[in-house]
Chain A
């Protein structure tokens, strides 16, 4: 029961951070929020007993792709407006 509640809470967090990633004006904040969605997804995979997938999601979704995007934001003119 407690675990089900936790899974539901995590799923709500995924949706909220996904919405934030779309609506936030600052590009850096939006990107961090999108990485957070991946991280919550990885946590939900662990709770659903799929640690192998969770590891790949945490490393690639939350780590690598977020960092590549952050780097791109920093290098282009979009990062200077803030």
Chain B
């Protein structure tokens, strides 16, 4: 009986997705909204990368919300794991398993990959308005570099206080830039508070590179703190 019910549910799901798959036809022309963004972002914002232009200016408030969600995750992980830290000493016999030293491959690989990973992360963050990427992606790349560092050198200690202060300052400046936009330009997080500059130049697109850099710092610091909490 249970199996029949499960089979019926699976079949219903299959029918729903089959409808989607059969009815799909690939667009050859972008939709009206996409067309409008494709024309407006380079002309109005001066950003060559349309995706970052939309994420940071038109949908800036949503991005702020995403960062806030990440902040809440970091805060709750910190709270949960530090509450468990006091109880861990209770099972006296079962001490923590002796940590295996990291393998040769990880240690030597990290020495080669780490500088490149951090540099690439920084490049992705500051070039968000010109090429693929932006604050979020670059921050994640930097954070995966931090994970590699932690794996290769288990004894390394991240300075939580420094990371928290950096992250909070980045958040404060991000919101402050948004309020400046409210005062000097069209609205909250409007990137027109700085001159648009020459299209395609490194310093261009108004406040987008600045906001992207703050986002990158914030995301990288938050993810690093989350990872380090899991370790300790």
Contact = CB atoms under 8 A, between A and B. Distances in A.
Contacts of B209: none
A20 interface: no
Interface residues of A, number: 16
B231 A64 contact: no
B147 A63 contact: yes
B51 interface: yes
Given A64-B144, A75-B97, A52 B151 contact: no
A61 B47 CA distance: 27
Interface in B197-222: none
A2 interface: no
Interface in A61-82: 63-64, 67-68, 71-72, 74-75, 80
A52 B132 contact: yes
A52 B132 CA distance: 5
B151 A64 contact: no
A61 B179 CA distance: 33
A56 interface: yes
B136 interface: yes
A71 B230 CA distance: 8
Interface residues of B, number: 22
Contact of A63 (B97, B132, B136, B144): B144
A55 B133 contact: yes
B200 to A, nearest CB: 17
A50 to B, nearest CB: 8
Contact of A68 (B100, B124, B133, B227): B227
Interface of B: 49, 51-52, 96-97, 100, 124, 132-134, 136-137, 140-141, 143-144, 147, 151, 223, 227, 230-231
Interface of A: 51-52, 54-56, 59-60, 63-64, 67-68, 71-72, 74-75, 80
- 7 smallest beta-carbon distances between A and B, as pairs: A51-B132, A59-B140, A63-B144, A55-B137, A52-B51, A67-B147, A59-B141
